[in-house]
Structure 1
Amino acid sequence: MVTLSTLKTILFTLGPLLIPKLITWYRTQKVKAVTVPIPVQPVPGPVSKSLAILFLSAVLALISTLPYFAPENIFATTSTRLQTSNDVLFTRLNLARGPSGLTEADSILRPKIASLDARLLYFTYGPDVLTNCPFCNSDEAFTYFFYALPSITLPHLLHAVALGLATSSALCGPYGKRWRSVVTTIGIGLAVVECYLFGSYEWKTNARAVRPEQYVLFYWRMRVFRGIVIAVADVLVAGLLWLSSTNRMFVVPPSAAERMETAMRVLENARAKLNAVGIMRNAVVRDEGLRRKAEAYWRKEGLVMGEVMDEREVVDGVRNALGGRIQVAKVEEEARRYAEGITSFQDVQLQPQVG
């Protein structure tokens, strides 16, 4: 099993190589976000379904770590030493269980854990493997590993199905497509790591234990470790989907061709509006009745504005503005922004790539 010293060695070896790359990648993402500003949007509907699947997968993984769903460890239940005989062990087990007593599985397991090596393998691979394996032999410990391999990889296979469904194009649309390779790597990586931990574990570790408190319950610990890691992986993938789909991080800016196409659409929209304004103006000018109404409107507008400018409050306001009580520069800046807002066209916006 991987020890703390091994993890420290790996971190000190790979840390100086990975940390600068992560910092550079983060700065690149910030520069992209500033260069091509993309507005933050709510979580799209397809991504909401994917997040629900990942949440359900994480909850089920955490529930699987509860002791209620773990197989019973007869040595921990009876607080029995490994050197205790089978008769004493199962007598204590029968008394510990009370009215339920021994089961058929206990009868099958009883002759298979008669030796010390078999009991040590019991702590490594669990009771189901020792009970059901037809070809396993304690003299060849790896036979237990081969038999346990399907049960070890099955939870990761189900987890890979959940990850694949959450990032599929049919359910998540283009938002999950970009993370397919990452998700596949995570699913395969977790299965490989657990298989490696089982295959490299020193199964005779408990041979040195003299009291039940010193037992290393490797199989039961790995069940808990598996559930927690799968839940963390689901949370990580859900975070990636949420950040990328809402344009908070990992935004892929539009390509030059897409920006050109968007600019052309903006120009076409502006030309269509100008043509419409020109047609309306020509219609007003050529029609005598409409022309008279337009002239009357502007004459009345001039009279009204003239009367307004003659009012006492307006005169005082102009005097105060000229006296410096109102920030003229600020008013001019707001007027300039208002004019730019009127003449700008915002019907078409750049959208990030989600594929």
Structure 2
Amino acid sequence: MMQDIRIHFSDFSSDFVVEDSFFYKVLSAHYRLILDSENPDYLFYSCFGQKYLDYDCIRIFYTGENLRPDFNVCDYAIGFDYMEFEGRYLRFPSYAMDGAQFDQLTQGNAMPGEVAIKRNFCNFIYSNASADLVRDRFFKLLSEYQQVDSLGPHLTNCSVPIGARYASDWRESKVITQQDYKFSVAFENSLGNGYTTEKLLHALISNTVPIYWGNPRVADDFNPAAFVNVHDYDSIDQVIDVVRQLDSDHEAYLKMLNAPAFREGTVPEHLSDARVVEFLKPALDQSPELARRRPGVGATGLYEDRLKRMERMRRRFGLLDRVLNKLFVR
């Protein structure tokens, strides 16, 4: 008989659906999950709010952004960084949670060479204008060689239907669009060891050659023969020269395009679902009292009290702002 686990989720992105989430699906195979927003024993929370402060239970932090966990207020955490912290942390990048799309990395979907080399040059699909300036700079410099089609809300220069970020179909729509291009600019919004998101994944399963920047250690996860790694070069100009050479050398381009996403052609063990279950089981298999890791008293207790006071103040001002808007904004 499966063990009952009372859980809740908070502070995830606006498109988050509990029953469709990676954590719910993976843990449902091992536990009978009871969703309890009032009195959970375990709280999974992310970085899009502070509702987690309302729950004095076992807190498990997850981030899909380039952020570090605060172990003063969480018991366990899952993120991008390479680090160890007394069994309380697991590196598990967000792209490995993308289900069917992640599975496509090992399924193989070779495109005929004569079709691959006759596609449009390169795409650039972004909505965030606040990213590291290297992303826009690369777009502008590469565009001096050939037009790079910017298809998202940021730096748009052509009109192609594509789902908005966080729309229900944006991932599928993006991949379909990228299939029409030889190259895809796959730059993260910021630099960080271990920080690789869906951008590289989407380009790889779209049968385009990714031009990747963001995680200097990306080759720890992916086959370096399958993409252009900006971190391998001393300057952006060198990267553009490499792209130009691949664009004109069909044999070299197709070799990179058809290289497996992973070195051995299979998902590395550290990216398997089983790794997450293995990490969480010690916490979930014992009582919440024994699973607790954050002290919650002394300096850390005072620290959390300050966070709670700040959050209560923020909520009061937010309520006042909404009331004033209703009264005076017409």
TM-score (normalizing by structure 2)? 0.25
User: Which structure has the highest strand share of the two?
Assistant: 2
Larger RCO, structure (CA 8 Å, separation 6 or more): 1
User: Which structure has the highest helix share of the two?
Assistant: 1
TM-score (normalizing by structure 1)? 0.23
